[in-house]
């Protein structure tokens, strides 16, 4: 039998694979839903049939993508019960609430109006159908909000407390959970990334039609709308990403340090590393090319606030582990005598650092008598692998700025009604994968950068798994790979089919 730790790695691999695959569909659904509302607004105002044709055709591609997103999202959530049973028990009171609301409210709102969108063209007036389309967009965005509220809580657990009687997190203030600044920043940042994805998709497919000299009036209008909407959305991604980065620095210092390959605390304001090669063995970033002061100004919005480096944060973690041991000792007393007032007082003093004591369980069952070597190992566990984080973050940022450039060029020429430059159209077509690359790298940075925590500073990832064998996880992983591969083939077949047919072929 494989070691128990491999169950954790396999479970993480499975969830990462399903989550990243699911997020291939989510941003396109978000972006296309809003673009459909924009196009139908123009149709209602002008009454021109070509805008109706645009809504109906892009709506078909939206529908295919929406169905795939639902299928992959439902199966992904099953893993909370199968692979992450202790995590589900530990945070169910908080994490379950937004997921339940998402299922009962947003999903049903979204699904109901999606049906009316497709089957209501001949049954509803123009204005009523336009309202349905707007509600589809609202429901789609509302659905994403609740998921990101749950995810934001995992990164910054507010509105809750640890109950030593039940050994789980309990909800204390739903308002704080919902208006968690990390969750709200992730929500608007994710929405803007989705809008960029939808815009790039429409831009690229429109460029395809223009290159083939077909459906020109349809393609020109779609190209212009996508270029304008995409340019605004791409700028929003950068601005809102800056806000997310600022909040990360407030609540997840290690993530910022690892993203920057910053091993030592620099004098404020810290430099931003454009390029380098982090060496986690020697604790240095080689061949670093830096821009003085920029990181400190962006991450702290001040010129005198220092950013702690990885080595200093590891030393801090050692201190938190030792404080966590004190909380752990009092927890043992309280489990035997929950009414011990003195133990409660002592426990509350170090309660926030209890999770750091749990890190020691990877190396010893006797947390109170952990050796200095075990404490050192547990402290270094708070450092994610630097090299993938460093380059994933730069890949995400590079794709974002490249899309701003592409949307800007396309909007410049489209606003002049200049659609005959084949290099421009090829550029727009080749740029199709960029938003997905940026989005997937962004989620990698956000979630991998939180390791070793499944709930920041509260619950280590390796403690959140189910009591199952490695073989069980391998079998389910293979099942997911087969199932998702089939869905990928179906998605590509349907998308390519209807793109080749085009709006005329679909209408016929």
Residue 384: CB atoms within 10 A of its CB come to: 19
Q: Collect contacts of 96-103 with beta carbons under 8 A, ≥24 apart.
A: 97/171, 97/174, 97/177, 98/146, 98/147, 98/149, 98/150, 98/153, 98/177, 98/178, 99/146, 99/147, 99/150, 101/146, 102/143, 102/146, 102/147
- Which tokens belong to 443? 């989620």
Q: Rounded to whole angstroms, how far apart are CA atoms 457 and 253?
A: 12
CA 375 to chain centre: 32
Cα distance from N-terminal residue to C-terminal residue, the chain: 59
Q: Which two tokens stand for residue 125?
A: 């007036």
Reading the block at residue 152, the tokens are 């934001």
Residue position matching structure tokens 């407390």: 161
Contacts of 490 (CB under 8 A, 6+ apart): 68
- CA 387 from chain center: how many Å? 20
Q: pLDDT value at position 508?
A: 42
Three-class DSSP category at 455: strand
DSSP 156: S
Q: What is the C-alpha separation between 207 and 220, in angstroms, rounded?
A: 8
Q: Which residue has the tokens 């200095």?
A: 372
| pLDDT tens sequence for the chain (508 residues) | 334 458 898 999 999 998 889 889 999 999 999 999 999 999 999 999 999 999 999 999 999 999 888 888 878 878 888 889 899 889 888 888 888 888 776 667 777 889 899 999 989 999 999 999 999 998 888 888 888 999 899 999 999 999 888 888 999 999 999 999 998 888 999 999 999 999 999 999 999 999 999 999 999 999 999 999 999 999 999 888 877 877 787 888 999 999 999 999 988 888 888 999 999 999 999 998 998 888 888 888 888 888 899 999 999 999 999 999 999 999 999 988 888 888 899 999 999 999 999 999 999 999 999 999 999 999 999 999 999 999 999 999 999 999 999 999 999 999 999 998 999 999 999 999 999 999 999 999 999 999 999 999 999 999 998 888 888 889 988 998 898 899 889 989 999 999 999 888 655 4
Find all residues with CB under 8 Å of 219, minimum gap 6, and list them.
206, 207, 209, 210, 419
Identify the three-state secondary structure at position 43: helix
Rounded distance between C-alpha atoms, residue 488 and residue 17, angstroms: 13
CA 151, 154, 157, 159 dihedral sign is: positive
Name, in order, each residue with C-beta under 8 angstroms of 349's C-beta and a sequence gap of 6 or more. Answer: 326, 327
Q: Are 117 and 60 in contact (CB under 8 A)?
A: no
Q: What is the predicted pLDDT for the residue at 506?
A: 59
Spatial separation of the C-alpha atoms in residues 211 and 224, rounded to whole Å: 15
CB 199 within 8 A of CB 226: yes
Tokens linked to 343: 């133990």
Amino acid 4: pLDDT: 46
């Amino acid at each position: 039998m494989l070691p128990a730790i491999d169950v954790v790695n396999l479970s993480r691999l499975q969830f990462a694979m399903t989550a990243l695959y699911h997020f291939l569909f989510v941003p396109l659904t978000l972006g296309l839903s809003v673009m459909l509302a924009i196009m139908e607004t123009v149709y209602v105002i002008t009454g021109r049939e070509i805008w109706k044709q645009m809504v109906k055709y892009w709506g078909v591609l939206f529908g295919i993508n929406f169905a795939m997103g639902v299928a992959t999202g439902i199966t992904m959530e099953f893993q909370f019960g199968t692979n992450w049973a202790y995590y589900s028990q530990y945070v169910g009171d908080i994490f379950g609430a937004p997921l339940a609301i998402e299922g009962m409210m947003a999903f049903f709102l979204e699904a109901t109006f999606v049906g009316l969108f497709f089957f209501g063209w001949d049954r509803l007036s123009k204005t009523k159908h336009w309202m349905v389309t707007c509600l589809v967009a609202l429901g789609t965005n509302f659905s994403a909000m609740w998921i990101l509220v749950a995810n934001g809580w995992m990164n910054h657990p507010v509105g809750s407390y640890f109950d030593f009687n039940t050994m789980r997190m309990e909800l204390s203030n739903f308002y704080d959970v919902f208006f968690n600044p990390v969750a709200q920043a992730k929500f608007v940042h994710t929405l803007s990334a989705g809008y960029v994805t939808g815009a790039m998709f429409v831009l690229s497919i429109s460029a395809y039609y223009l290159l083939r000299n077909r459906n020109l009036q349809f393609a020109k209008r779609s190209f212009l709308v996508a270029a304008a909407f995409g340019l605004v959305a791409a700028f929003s991604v950068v601005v809102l990403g800056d806000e997310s980065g600022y909040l990360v620095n407030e609540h997840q210092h290690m993530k910022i340090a690892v993203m920057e390959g910053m091993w030592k605390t620099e004098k404020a304001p810290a430099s931003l590393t454009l390029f380098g090669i982090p060496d986690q063995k020697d604790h240095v970033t080689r061949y670093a090319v830096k821009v003085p002061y920029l990181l400190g100004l962006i991450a702290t919005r001040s010129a005198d606030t220092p950013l702690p480096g990885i080595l200093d944060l590891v030393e801090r973690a050692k201190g938190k582990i030792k404080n966590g041991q004190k909380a752990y000792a009092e927890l043992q007393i309280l489990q035997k005598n929950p009414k011990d007032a003195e133990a409660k007082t002592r426990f509350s003093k170090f309660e926030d650092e209890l999770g750091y004591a749990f890190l020691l369980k990877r190396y010893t069952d006797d947390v109170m008598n952990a050796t200095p070597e075990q404490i050192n190992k547990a402290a270094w566990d708070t450092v994610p692998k630097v090299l993938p984080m460093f380059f994933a973050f730069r890949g995400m940022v590079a794709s974002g700025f490249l899309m701003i450039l592409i949307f800007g060029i396309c909007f410049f020429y489209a606003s002049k009604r200049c659609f005959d430059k084949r290099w421009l159209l090829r550029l727009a077509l080749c740029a199709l994968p960029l938003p997905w690359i940026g989005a997937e790298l962004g989620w990698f940075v956000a979630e991998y950068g939180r390791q070793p925590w499944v709930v920041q500073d509260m619950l280590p990832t390796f403690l959140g798994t189910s009591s199952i064998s490695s073989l069980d996880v391998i079998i389910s992983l293979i099942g997911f790979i087969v199932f998702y591969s089939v869905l990928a083939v179906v998605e590509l077949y349907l998308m390519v089919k209807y793109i080749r047919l085009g709006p005329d072929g679909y209408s016929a």
